[in-house]
Amino acid sequence: MSSDMTLIRGVMAGDETALASLYDRYSGVVYSVAKRILDDQGAAEEVLQDIFYQLWRTASNFDESRGGLAGWLLVSARNRAIDRLRRRKPSEGIDDDKPVAVKSSLESEIAQGELMGKVKGALQGLPETQRATLELAYFEGLTHTEIAQRTGEPLGTVKTRLRSALQTLRQALNP
Protein backbone atom coordinates (compact mmCIF):
# COMPACT_ATOMS: atom_id res chain seq x y z
CA MET A 1 0.00 0.00 0.00
CA SER A 2 1.48 3.37 -1.04
CA SER A 3 1.80 6.03 1.65
CA ASP A 4 -0.18 9.27 1.44
CA MET A 5 2.99 11.20 0.64
CA THR A 6 3.94 8.86 -2.23
CA LEU A 7 0.48 9.34 -3.70
CA ILE A 8 0.63 13.13 -3.23
CA ARG A 9 3.89 13.15 -5.16
CA GLY A 10 2.05 11.22 -7.88
CA VAL A 11 -0.73 13.83 -7.88
CA MET A 12 1.91 16.56 -8.15
CA ALA A 13 3.23 14.79 -11.24
CA GLY A 14 -0.28 14.76 -12.75
CA ASP A 15 -1.00 11.07 -12.10
CA GLU A 16 -4.80 10.67 -11.98
CA THR A 17 -4.58 7.12 -10.61
CA ALA A 18 -2.73 8.52 -7.56
CA LEU A 19 -5.62 10.93 -6.94
CA ALA A 20 -8.10 8.08 -7.44
CA SER A 21 -6.23 6.03 -4.81
CA LEU A 22 -6.37 8.90 -2.31
CA TYR A 23 -10.07 9.33 -3.13
CA ASP A 24 -10.71 5.63 -2.47
CA ARG A 25 -8.83 5.92 0.83
CA TYR A 26 -10.51 9.05 2.22
CA SER A 27 -13.75 9.76 0.32
CA GLY A 28 -15.77 7.81 2.92
CA VAL A 29 -14.69 9.85 5.95
CA VAL A 30 -14.79 13.18 4.06
CA TYR A 31 -18.26 12.48 2.66
CA SER A 32 -19.58 11.19 6.01
CA VAL A 33 -18.72 14.39 7.89
CA ALA A 34 -20.10 16.60 5.09
CA LYS A 35 -23.29 14.52 5.01
CA ARG A 36 -23.63 14.73 8.82
CA ILE A 37 -23.35 18.53 8.68
CA LEU A 38 -25.43 19.21 5.55
CA ASP A 39 -27.90 16.29 5.73
CA ASP A 40 -28.06 16.36 1.92
CA GLN A 41 -26.43 13.80 -0.40
CA GLY A 42 -25.97 16.14 -3.37
CA ALA A 43 -24.52 19.00 -1.31
CA ALA A 44 -22.20 16.59 0.55
CA GLU A 45 -20.94 15.14 -2.77
CA GLU A 46 -20.24 18.69 -4.03
CA VAL A 47 -18.12 19.39 -0.93
CA LEU A 48 -16.31 16.05 -1.44
CA GLN A 49 -15.58 16.81 -5.10
CA ASP A 50 -14.48 20.39 -4.38
CA ILE A 51 -11.96 19.17 -1.80
CA PHE A 52 -10.38 16.52 -4.04
CA TYR A 53 -10.42 18.91 -7.00
CA GLN A 54 -8.51 21.44 -4.87
CA LEU A 55 -6.05 18.71 -3.89
CA TRP A 56 -5.49 18.00 -7.60
CA ARG A 57 -4.88 21.65 -8.42
CA THR A 58 -2.75 22.60 -5.41
CA ALA A 59 -0.96 19.38 -4.39
CA SER A 60 2.40 21.06 -5.08
CA ASN A 61 1.70 23.50 -2.24
CA PHE A 62 1.25 20.66 0.22
CA ASP A 63 3.88 20.85 2.97
CA GLU A 64 4.23 17.52 4.77
CA SER A 65 6.21 19.08 7.62
CA ARG A 66 3.11 21.08 8.69
CA GLY A 67 0.82 18.08 9.05
CA GLY A 68 -0.61 15.10 7.25
CA LEU A 69 -3.16 14.84 4.50
CA ALA A 70 -5.83 13.19 6.67
CA GLY A 71 -5.98 16.17 9.03
CA TRP A 72 -6.26 18.61 6.15
CA LEU A 73 -9.07 16.59 4.57
CA LEU A 74 -11.07 16.29 7.81
CA VAL A 75 -10.72 19.99 8.71
CA SER A 76 -11.51 21.08 5.14
CA ALA A 77 -14.61 18.87 5.04
CA ARG A 78 -15.93 20.34 8.28
CA ASN A 79 -15.12 23.96 7.40
CA ARG A 80 -16.50 23.83 3.87
CA ALA A 81 -19.69 22.05 4.89
CA ILE A 82 -20.30 24.53 7.73
CA ASP A 83 -19.60 27.48 5.42
CA ARG A 84 -22.19 26.07 3.08
CA LEU A 85 -24.66 25.32 5.87
CA ARG A 86 -24.41 28.85 7.21
CA ARG A 87 -24.14 30.36 3.72
CA ARG A 88 -20.84 31.99 4.54
CA LYS A 89 -18.10 32.89 2.13
CA PRO A 90 -15.09 30.58 2.59
CA SER A 91 -13.04 33.54 3.89
CA GLU A 92 -15.45 33.95 6.81
CA GLY A 93 -14.89 30.34 7.87
CA ILE A 94 -13.94 29.25 11.34
CA ASP A 95 -10.36 28.50 10.43
CA ASP A 96 -7.97 28.33 7.53
CA ASP A 97 -7.77 25.17 5.47
CA LYS A 98 -4.18 24.70 6.53
CA PRO A 99 -2.59 21.33 7.27
CA VAL A 100 -3.41 19.83 10.65
CA ALA A 101 -1.24 17.41 12.58
CA VAL A 102 -3.37 14.37 13.35
CA LYS A 103 -1.18 12.09 15.41
CA SER A 104 -2.96 8.84 14.55
CA SER A 105 -2.59 7.14 11.17
CA LEU A 106 -5.66 6.96 8.95
CA GLU A 107 -3.99 5.45 5.91
CA SER A 108 -5.57 2.00 6.19
CA GLU A 109 -9.21 1.02 6.50
CA ILE A 110 -8.39 -0.88 9.70
CA ALA A 111 -6.75 2.19 11.27
CA GLN A 112 -9.72 4.35 10.27
CA GLY A 113 -12.15 1.82 11.78
CA GLU A 114 -10.21 1.58 15.04
CA LEU A 115 -9.97 5.34 15.45
CA MET A 116 -13.65 5.81 14.59
CA GLY A 117 -14.52 3.32 17.33
CA LYS A 118 -12.33 5.17 19.81
CA VAL A 119 -13.81 8.60 18.99
CA LYS A 120 -17.41 7.35 18.98
CA GLY A 121 -16.80 5.51 22.27
CA ALA A 122 -15.39 8.69 23.85
CA LEU A 123 -18.43 10.71 22.75
CA GLN A 124 -20.88 8.06 23.95
CA GLY A 125 -19.18 8.18 27.35
CA LEU A 126 -20.18 11.84 27.78
CA PRO A 127 -23.39 12.84 29.57
CA GLU A 128 -26.14 13.45 26.99
CA THR A 129 -26.28 17.23 27.60
CA GLN A 130 -22.51 17.62 27.16
CA ARG A 131 -22.48 15.52 23.99
CA ALA A 132 -25.37 17.48 22.46
CA THR A 133 -23.60 20.79 23.25
CA LEU A 134 -20.33 19.57 21.73
CA GLU A 135 -22.12 18.36 18.59
CA LEU A 136 -23.79 21.77 18.10
CA ALA A 137 -20.36 23.41 18.31
CA TYR A 138 -18.58 20.89 16.08
CA PHE A 139 -21.16 19.91 13.47
CA GLU A 140 -22.98 23.25 13.21
CA GLY A 141 -20.11 25.61 14.03
CA LEU A 142 -22.13 27.46 16.69
CA THR A 143 -20.53 29.79 19.25
CA HIS A 144 -21.31 29.72 22.99
CA THR A 145 -24.00 32.41 22.59
CA GLU A 146 -25.57 30.75 19.57
CA ILE A 147 -25.78 27.41 21.41
CA ALA A 148 -27.43 29.17 24.39
CA GLN A 149 -29.96 30.80 22.05
CA ARG A 150 -30.65 27.51 20.26
CA THR A 151 -31.11 25.41 23.40
CA GLY A 152 -32.57 28.05 25.74
CA GLU A 153 -29.92 27.18 28.36
CA PRO A 154 -28.07 29.90 30.34
CA LEU A 155 -24.77 30.95 28.73
CA GLY A 156 -22.79 29.87 31.82
CA THR A 157 -24.29 26.37 31.66
CA VAL A 158 -23.37 26.05 27.98
CA LYS A 159 -19.79 27.15 28.66
CA THR A 160 -19.38 24.70 31.55
CA ARG A 161 -20.83 21.80 29.55
CA LEU A 162 -18.63 22.42 26.54
CA ARG A 163 -15.51 22.83 28.67
CA SER A 164 -16.23 19.62 30.61
CA ALA A 165 -16.93 17.70 27.39
CA LEU A 166 -13.64 18.86 25.83
CA GLN A 167 -11.72 17.99 28.97
CA THR A 168 -13.11 14.44 29.05
CA LEU A 169 -12.56 14.03 25.34
CA ARG A 170 -8.94 15.11 25.57
CA GLN A 171 -8.27 12.56 28.28
CA ALA A 172 -10.02 9.83 26.31
CA LEU A 173 -8.22 10.55 23.03
CA ASN A 174 -4.72 11.08 24.40
CA PRO A 175 -2.49 8.13 23.53
Partner 1 sequence: MNGHPQFEEDFDLYALGALEGEERTAMDSHLKGCPDCAARLEEARGRLALLALSAPTSAPSPAAKQRLLRSLKAPGRRLENPQGFESPRRMGIWRWLTPVSAFAAIVLAALSVWLGVQNGRLSQAVRDVRSQQQRLKAQVRQTQAENARARLVLDVLTSPSTVKVDLVAAEAHPVPQGKAFYNPDKGLLFYAANLPSVPAHWTYQLWLVPAKGNPVSAGIFKPDRGGNGSVLLPPLPTGLTAKAFAVTIEPAGGMQQPTGKKVLIGVVSGQPG
Q: Binding to partner 1 (CB under 8 A): which residues in 30-89?
A: 31-33, 35-37, 41-42, 44-46, 48-50, 52-53, 56, 59-61, 63, 65, 67, 70-71, 74-75, 77-78
Q: H/E/C letters for each residue in the chain?
A: CCCHHHHHHHHHCCCHHHHHHHHHHHHHHHHHHHHHHHCCHHHHHHHHHHHHHHHHHHHHHCCHHHCEHHHHHHHHHHHHHHHHHCCCCHHHCCCCCCCECCCCCCCCHHHHHHHHHHHHHHHHCCCHHHHHHHHHHHHHCCCHHHHHHHHCCCHHHHHHHHHHHHHHHHHHHCC
How many positions of this chain bind partner 1 (CB under 8 A)? Answer: 75
Residue 85 Cβ vs partner 1, minimum distance, rounded to whole Å: 13
Interface with partner 1 (CB under 8 A), residue from 6, 108, 145, 149: 145
Minimum CB–partner distance for residue 2 and partner 1 (Å): 18
Rounded to 10°, the helix 128-140/155-173 angle is 90
**Nearest residue (CB) to partner 1, 7 versus 71:** 71
Contact pick of 18, 19, 69, 148 for partner 1 (by CB under 8 A): 19
Contact pattern from residue 91 through residue 110 relative to partner 1, giving x for each residue in contact according to CB under 8 A and a dash for the rest: ---xx----xxxxx------
Binding letters toward partner 1, positions 110-139, x by CB under 8 A: --x--xx--xx--x-x--------x--xxx
Shortest distance in whole angstroms from residue 117 CB to partner 1: 9
